[in-house]
Chains A and B, each alone.
Chain A
Amino acid sequence: MPPACPREMIMPNPIDIAAQATPPRLARKIRGLSDRAIAWIFVAPTIFLLLAINIFPLIWTIRLSFTNYAANKPNAEVKWVGIRNYTRILTDEDIWSNMTTTAHFLIWTIVLQVIIGFTLAWLINRKFKGNDLLTTLIVVPMMLSPAVVGNFWTFLYQPQIGVVNYIVEFFTGIPAASFSMLGPGGLAPWSIIIVDTWMWTPFVMLICLAGLRSIPDYIYEAAEVDRASKWRQFWTITVPMVLPFLMLAVLFRGIENFKMFDMVNLLTGGGPGSETLLTSIDLKREAFEKWRTGYSSAYAIILFVTVFGLASIYVKALNKVKER
């Protein structure tokens, strides 16, 4: 048993000081509360904000989605239309076309960002001179505003003065002014994928890099002792251990790109025709240009359910991978 210290030699604890400073009446009140009650006191503001900012608007949107409400006609009679908005949306060929466009954008940006991001991370993970500088340079695109990126890529894609067409001409001999990356000819959907990949691959790279650096060296050393080839080490150590990180990156990018708006709106405005009309751009036009509030509420709910459903399935898969 350690010898008891004289009371005056014990350093005063800041919590004790604060407790002593608490007025006796308040202290009595607090002492009377259970741990659960105190926990509720701390959590209540957050719950209140969550209800006010997220849950209430969601419930209100669900309610509006069953009406013909138009926010620009405050005096008009609001009629209950049942599931009419939902059936109209789900049977509208144009909306399915926009969904397809969004899926095309989503899938290809993720595939390219994962492949390029992982490759970059794998290369950067090797120690070499200038490693840190190179990492910093690679992450510059994701530090820019999407609006800025959208604007300057319109110049890069400009057939007469843009550098992209000249690079293509240099390598293929196709005249620079003979094609337009953002115009007709089917290149526009790929052009927006290129810009998003350029901007967000560094994000995937950083997450992969974190995953790669979390793998302890002794695992590779053990594999070396067992005479496992580099190729086998890659597939049996590197990939499985980075996979949870990679899946997390895919989740983030998937959700972000599902709601992509600013960059694509600036690059193409949804055109040519509707070739790059993503659901988020279409939804914005329905809600805030056409002011079909009820209809666009239903549209938003359908998109929300889609993202929420897919994300839930994905998170379950992610958890299974983590448990392995």
Chain B
Amino acid sequence: MKRTTLAASAAIALVWATQASAQGSELTLCWAAWDPANALVELSKDFEAQSGTKMNFEFVPWPNFADRMLNELNSGGQLCDLMIGDSQWIGGAAENGWYLKLNEFFDKEGISMDAFVPATVTGYSEWPKNTPNYWSLPAFGDVVGWTYRKDWFERPEIQAAFKEKTGRDLTPPATMAELKEVAEFFQGRDIDGKTVYGASIYTERGSEGITMGVMDVLYSFGFKYDNPEKPYDMEGFVNSEGSVAGLEFYKSLYDCCVAPGTSNTYMGEGIDAYKSGQVAMQMNFAFTWPGFEVDPNVGGGKTGYLVNPAGPNGERFAQLGGQGISVVANTDNMDGALAYIKWFAQQDVQQKWWSMGGFSCLRAVVEDPAFATSQPYAQTFLDSMAIVKDFWAEPSYASLLQASQARFHDYVVAGNGTAKEALDGLIADWTEVFMDEGKL
């Protein structure tokens, strides 16, 4: 009996040890399910070959990404060892202890944040903002920009019609006013026997879509989140005259120049509308651009790329996207996760990342003289990344985001109230959130 018990115990111990060992040589990386994630799977094969670590991936579609992953982090789950989380999560992740603070590791391994594009360090890694406290390594630079149908813009008959209508040449819009003028021109126009529309813009209600779109425009109209001298003091900044004009502009763009039925559209719908030849211009994150270049309908030189046009006073900003890669604090393979980050930070890996469609944030890559001409959209990406602003990255960002989603959608899409009322209401909502947080 004793011998049997001993043998059984030994077998259980052996199985447990084998499992533990297997777990030790595996890493699970969590991210959104999109094209760059597929590129990362390919890139990570080099890491697997070098380290002997097996990489697993958990990708969730964007509309459910935050829900799924924040639940995972919040519940202390051990699904993910590495997380490429959205930039706005950084405050909550840092304050709630979801991510490992990486300063010590960076110092030990000689990884300098100066080596990365400053906007991405602030946007993806720092909490509190503008302090040297790093919670992630900038992994994927992204920004909202515009694509336009270069082939349509270059057609003589279209150029002539535009000149006749507006008195000026049809050129890629440099200002918001020009953008709307061009969009109005294309709206309902017949091109190749098909009715096309002016532009595709973000209007999605459920997650973050309309906020990303509206903020992308509002920044260039003078919108500021709060008083630079007095944090969380929003009166006169969020609802400044410029902000009101910007929101009115976005609504006018929605009213005049989008395809019918686009009251709930975000990245995916924008891609579909553009690729199918439904719209002349499209607002979308830069990650979509490599896909357009290889698309049979809009690739091969048919697409042009635009930095966000300037506002009425010449100010020009763009909404930051993108993410940093972090180590989940309760991973049971901390060494493996850190080894991945160390590997990913290397210049040759970052160079390969860019060549595969990943938007590297490493300055050595993006400041290389050959970078700007390496892809048709490379220069636009660089110029856009230089003018980025981001939404609140507070721990309560989800509450702040839901408030803006409701206010913006209610005004822009449903047409209720005025822009001033929407922004005043937003200040009231955001004030309540900050009061709950004890920050006001």
Contacts and interface: CB of A to CB of B under 8 A. Distances in A.
Interface of A: 68, 71-75, 94, 157-160, 162, 177-180, 182-184, 265, 268-275, 277, 285, 288-292
Given A72-B96, A270-B206, A290-B396, 8 more contacts: A73-B395, A162-B261, A183-B263, A268-B205, A271-B263, A273-B409, A273-B416, A289-B402
B205 A72 contact: no
Interface stretch (B67-75, B220-228, B299-307, B316-324): B67-75
B414 A160 contact: no
A162 B260 CA distance: 11
Contacts of B268: none
Interface string B57-70: 00000000011001
A273 B413 contact: yes
B394 interface: no
Contacts of A184: 263, 413-415
B200 to A, nearest CB: 13
B410 interface: yes
A277 B413 CA distance: 14
A265 B206 contact: yes
B259 interface: yes
Nearest to B63: A269
Contacts of B409: 271-274
A272 B74 CA distance: 30
22 contacts: A68-B436, A71-B74, A72-B70, A72-B74, A72-B96, A160-B260, A162-B261, A179-B260, A180-B263, A182-B261, A182-B263, A183-B413, A184-B263, A270-B206, A272-B410, A274-B409, A275-B414, A288-B67, A289-B66, A289-B402, A290-B396, A291-B398
Interface of A is mostly: loop
Interface in B378-408: 395-396, 398-399, 402, 406
Contacts of B206: 265, 269-271
A183 B261 contact: yes
Contacts of B396: 290
A270 B66 CA distance: 18
B38 interface: no
Pick from A162, A268, A285 the residue with the most CB of B within 10 Å.
A285
A178 B96 contact: no
A169 to B, nearest CB: 12
A74 B395 CA distance: 13
B118 interface: no
A159 B96 contact: no
Contact of A180 (B74, B260, B398): B260
Contacts of B24: none
A187 to B, nearest CB: 11
B92 interface: yes
B204 interface: yes
B74 A160 contact: no
B261 A272 contact: no
Interface string B200-211: 000011100000
A288 B71 contact: yes
A74 B330 CA distance: 14
A74 B96 contact: yes
Q: Which of B67, B259, B413 has the most CB of A within 10 A?
A: B413
A300 to B, nearest CB: 17
A103 to B, nearest CB: 19
Interface in B345-382: none
Nearest to A72: B74
Nearest to A266: B206
Q: Which of A158, A269, A270 has the most CB of B within 10 A?
A: A269
A274 B399 contact: no
A270 B97 CA distance: 32
A268 B74 CA distance: 27
A292 B399 contact: yes
B329 to A, nearest CB: 12
B264 interface: yes
A272 B263 contact: yes
A285 to B, nearest CB: 6
Nearest to A74: B96
Given A72-B96, A74-B96, A273 B261 contact: no
A288 B399 CA distance: 10
A94 B410 CA distance: 12
A182 B264 contact: yes
B205 A271 contact: yes
Contacts of A71: 74
A179 B260 CA distance: 7
Contacts of A182: 261, 263-264
A72 B261 contact: no
B67 A268 contact: no
A158 B406 CA distance: 22
Interface centre among B205, B262, B395, by most chain A C-beta atoms within 10 angstroms, is: B205
Contacts of B96: 72-75
